[in-house]
């Protein structure tokens, strides 16, 4: 029988009524002839509550117990979803991660998949069960412990199952009706996209569009899983939501597909570092070891053997970065004149696979920002993306200006 993966996020299973609503969508697909693997998140807010309980109980918690507690919210929704389906006469069975088993690495709180054997679930389908409800977010380490897949990890569970079972599609049911050209709370003219390419979605997800966990998009791209994002609160048909797919499956697309933003960025500049081989390694090695997620990096032109090195990182990692730099300096790894921190910046990016074959996107972007008198502090580009750092207070204005400049409110 053809197989579908349907994933329901926290708001879609927030209470018994919503679980019932989700179960009805599952039942409809079963009636259409699909076997279904349902992946559920914890009820919305549950995982945060569990994290808080762990931190209150033991501030320097044992990682394995954190994992055990924090991954437990999904067990409740998986069981309740299976019961609800049974009440609707749909033969369903729930599965916790270890029962499948979902084999992962043993990394605390951010494990990675190793394998998902199909035998156990397929045996149940052969017995006549039509739905396997799997607790999202959970894995099993080689040591036999529960390993969560990182916050938002149920998306990744869903894609991994779709890949492992060769599902026809992976439907991600959530509280928005698809992927938008930009955040509709910022730009009223934001438009829902019917299709978006994996690469574009990957950029948008990692730039702060919170619809999908970034790793789920990476995995979908690698295994060519057709991924659909749609609302669990609306009636849906074959064409609802946004399909995240291979670029070959997109007939027409604009040069720029979306504008992303990320509010909490900081810019740090090391003034007067020696311009010599190994200097970048000496600076960014300790930052990486300290777990600082460095994003943009710029090295200025050198003068008299010295240069300035600027990089960006999330605002909440500034303290950690400062300490890593101070420690490395004290240990004699490198010297510098001054460290200048600007933690009042935001990043705005335009993304689109069309940039590969069209010139002039950067010029259009910079002109649009100039018209609004917005000063650009840092620029970086990749094949399908241009990002700028600007003063945070202009972030909304920049997003709106760019959305207009690239006419994203109009379909291709």
The binding site for Mg ion (CB under 5 A) comprises: 9, 152
Task: With contacts defined by CB under 6 A, name the span among 40-48, 115-123, 180-188, 398-406 that binds ligand ASP.
Answer: 40-48
> Does residue 258 touch ligand ASP according to CB under 6 A?
no
State the minimum distance, in angstroms, from the CB of residue 10 to ligand ASP.
Answer: 5
Q: Count, in order, helices (H) and strands (E) of the chain.
A: 12, 18
Q: What angle do CA 232, 235, 241 make, to 5 degrees?
A: 65
Q: What angle do CA 341, 347, 351 make, to 5 degrees?
A: 150
In Å, what is the CA distance from 374 to each residue of 66, 176, 367, 371? 44, 31, 10, 8
> Does residue 96 touch ligand ASP according to CB under 6 A?
no
Choosing among ligand ASP, Mg ion, none, which partner's interface includes residue 153 (Cβ < 5 to 8 Å by kind)? ligand ASP
Query: What is the C-alpha separation between 71 and 375, in angstroms, rounded?
Result: 44
Residue 141 is classified by DSSP as -
State the minimum distance, in angstroms, from the CB of residue 249 to ligand ASP.
Answer: 26
State the minimum distance, in angstroms, from the CB of residue 199 to ligand ASP.
Answer: 23
Choosing among Mg ion, ligand ASP, none, which partner's interface includes residue 137 (Cβ < 5 to 8 Å by kind)? ligand ASP
State the minimum distance, in angstroms, from the CB of residue 9 to ligand ASP.
Answer: 6
Query: What is the C-alpha separation between 363 and 351, in angstroms, rounded?
Result: 14
Query: What is the C-alpha separation between 351 and 340, in angstroms, rounded?
Result: 30
> Does residue 97 touch ligand ASP according to CB under 6 A?
no
Query: What is the C-alpha separation between 334 and 338, in angstroms, rounded?
Result: 12
Choosing among ligand ASP, Mg ion, none, which partner's interface includes residue 42 (Cβ < 5 to 8 Å by kind)? ligand ASP
> 17, exposed or middle or buried, with CB in 10 Å at 0-12, 13-18, 19+?
exposed
73 versus 354: smaller Cβ distance to ligand ASP = 73
176 versus 368: smaller Cβ distance to Mg ion = 176
> Does residue 19 touch ligand ASP according to CB under 6 A?
no
Task: With contacts defined by CB under 6 A, name the span among 60-68, 146-154, 307-315, 397-405 that binds ligand ASP.
Answer: 146-154
Binding residues for ligand ASP, rule CB under 6 A, total: 13
97 versus 152: smaller Cβ distance to Mg ion = 152
State the minimum distance, in angstroms, from the CB of residue 401 to Mg ion.
Answer: 29
Query: Looking at beta carbons, which residue is closest to Mg ion?
Result: 152
174 versus 269: smaller Cβ distance to ligand ASP = 174
- On whether the CB atoms of residues 390 and 348 are closer than 8 A, the answer is yes
Choosing among Mg ion, ligand ASP, none, which partner's interface includes residue 151 (Cβ < 5 to 8 Å by kind)? ligand ASP
User: By C-alpha distance, which of 125, 116, 119 is closest to 97?
Assistant: 116
> Does residue 84 touch ligand ASP according to CB under 6 A?
no
34 versus 137: smaller Cβ distance to ligand ASP = 137
> Does residue 151 touch ligand ASP according to CB under 6 A?
yes
210 versus 393: smaller Cβ distance to Mg ion = 210
> Does residue 42 touch ligand ASP according to CB under 6 A?
yes
Query: What is the C-alpha separation between 341 and 189, in angstroms, rounded?
Result: 35
Query: What is the C-alpha separation between 315 and 322, in angstroms, rounded?
Result: 12
State the minimum distance, in angstroms, from the CB of residue 47 to ligand ASP.
Answer: 4
Query: What is the C-alpha separation between 191 and 198, in angstroms, rounded?
Result: 18
> 238, exposed or middle or buried, with CB in 10 Å at 0-12, 13-18, 19+?
exposed
Hey, how many other C-beta atoms are within 10 angstroms of the C-beta on 62? 11
154 versus 257: smaller Cβ distance to ligand ASP = 154
State the minimum distance, in angstroms, from the CB of residue 38 to ligand ASP.
Answer: 14
Choosing among Mg ion, ligand ASP, none, which partner's interface includes residue 47 (Cβ < 5 to 8 Å by kind)? ligand ASP
Q: State the DSSP string of 205-262.
A: HHTT-TTS-HHHHHHHHHHT--EEEEETTS---TT-SEEEE-GGG-SS--S--EEEEE
Cis before 300 (ω within 30): no
Mask: binding to ligand ASP, 323-352, rule CB under 6 A, as x and -?
Answer: ------------------------------
Task: With contacts defined by CB under 6 A, name the span among 119-127, 145-153, 183-191, 360-368 that binds ligand ASP.
Answer: 145-153
* Contacting ligand ASP within 125-144 (CB under 6 A): 136-137
Query: What is the C-alpha separation between 324 and 315, in angstroms, rounded?
Result: 15
The binding site for ligand ASP (CB under 6 A) comprises: 9-10, 41-42, 47, 73, 136-137, 151-155
């Amino acid at each position: 029988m053809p197989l579908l993966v349907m994933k329901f996020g926290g708001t879609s299973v927030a209470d018994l009524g919503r679980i019932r609503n989700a179960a009805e969508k599952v039942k409809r697909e079963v009636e259409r002839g699909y076997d279904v693997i349902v992946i559920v998140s914890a009820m919305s807010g549950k995982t945060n509550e569990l994290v808080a309980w762990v931190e209150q109980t033991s501030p320097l918690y044992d990682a394995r117990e954190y994992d055990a507690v924090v991954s437990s919210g999904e067990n409740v929704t998986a069981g309740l979803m299976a019961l609800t389906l049974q009440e609707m006469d749909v033969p369903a069975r729930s599965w916790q991660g270890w029962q499948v088993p979902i084999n992962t690495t043993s990394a605390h709180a951010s494990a990675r998949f190793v394998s998902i054997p199909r035998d156990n679930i397929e045996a149940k389908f052969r017995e006549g069960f039509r739905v396997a409800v799997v607790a999202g977010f959970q894995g099993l380490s080689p040591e036999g412990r529960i390993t969560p897949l990182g916050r938002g990890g149920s998306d990744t569970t869903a894609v991994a199952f779709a890949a492992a079972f060769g599902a026809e599609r992976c439907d991600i049911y959530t509280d928005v009706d698809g992927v938008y050209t930009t955040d509709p709370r910022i730009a009223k003219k934001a438009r829902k996209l019917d299709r978006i390419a994996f690469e574009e979605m990957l950029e948008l997800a990692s730039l702060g569009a919170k619809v999908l966990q970034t790793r789920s998009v990476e995995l979908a791209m690698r295994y060519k899983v057709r991924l659909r994002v749609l609302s669990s609160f609306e009636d849906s048909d074959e064409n609802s939501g946004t399909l995240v797919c291979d670029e070959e499956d997109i007939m027409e697309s604009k040069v720029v597909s979306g504008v992303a933003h990320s509010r909490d960025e900081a810019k740090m500049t090391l003034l007067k570092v020696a311009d010599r081989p190994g200097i970048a390694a000496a600076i960014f090695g300790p930052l990486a070891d300290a777990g600082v997620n460095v994003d943009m990096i710029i090295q200025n032109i050198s003068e008299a053997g010295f240069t300035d090195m600027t990089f960006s990182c999330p605002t909440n990692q500034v303290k950690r970065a400062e300490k890593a730099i101070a420690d490395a300096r004290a240990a004699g790894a490198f010297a510098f004149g001054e460290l200048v921190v600007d933690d009042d910046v935001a990043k705005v990016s335009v993304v689109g696979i069309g940039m590969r074959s069209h010139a002039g996107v950067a010029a259009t972007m910079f002109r649009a920002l100039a018209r609004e008198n917005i000063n650009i502090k840092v620029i970086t580009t990749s094949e399908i993306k241009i990002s700028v750092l600007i003063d945070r207070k202009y972030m909304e204005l920049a997003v709106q200006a760019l959305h207009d400049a690239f006419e994203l409110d109009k379909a291709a």
